[in-house]
Amino acid sequence: MNINQINKRLFNSLIHVTHWLTETPRRNILGKPLVRGLGSLTTTVKKAERKSSPQEAAEEWQRMFPSRKMVPITEITDDVVYAEIHSECPYRGSGNVAGCQRMMEYDRKLMEEIGAEFVVVRSQAEPGVTHCQVAIGKHGSAMPTSALDRVSGGTAKPES
């Protein structure tokens, strides 16, 4: 078994634990530090590097996952890279967008380490949505309104 296969098995087994811990604000007292810790662990194990452009950051974010096919890049602009998360999430179709946002703290931590901003444009938790759509922008600058205009249902605002 190679490192990517081990990573994929670990990722898939931990997603259910992180789902349970982020499902409610009360449980998220433990969930947030855990998912952020897993994000830090991932960047350490995979030797993440800080990047200066949104495209480089998005490619580095892809590299943190067991397979780039799980998180394809769909569009690149000067300011923002759009991508999707294709792995099936326990929140899919649940309507618990706030829980999804809490679990996405993992990705926000990855992007902090890589040097970019991460916004959920559309969540699998929304009924009928089969994959998350995300925007990756330059660290330290406001996400362009062109990215935020795509946000449906207010999912861009992370909840603690």
Asked if residues 43 and 112 have their Cβ atoms less than 8 Å apart, the reply is no
Asked if residues 99 and 125 have their Cβ atoms less than 8 Å apart, the reply is yes
Asked if residues 61 and 54 have their Cβ atoms less than 8 Å apart, the reply is no
69 vs 143: CA distance, rounded Å: 25
Write the pLDDT tens digit of every residue in 95-138. Answer: 999 999 999 999 999 999 999 999 999 999 999 999 999 999 98
pTM for this one? 0.85
Domains of the chain: 3-148 (3.30.1380)
Asked if residues 31 and 22 have their Cβ atoms less than 8 Å apart, the reply is yes
Write the pLDDT tens digit of every residue in 75-96. Answer: 998 889 999 999 889 999 999 9
Q: What is the pLDDT of residue 158?
A: 46
Q: Which residue has the tokens 């916004």?
A: 119
Cβ contacts of residue 48 below 8 Å, gap of 6+? 42, 60, 63, 64, 110, 113, 114
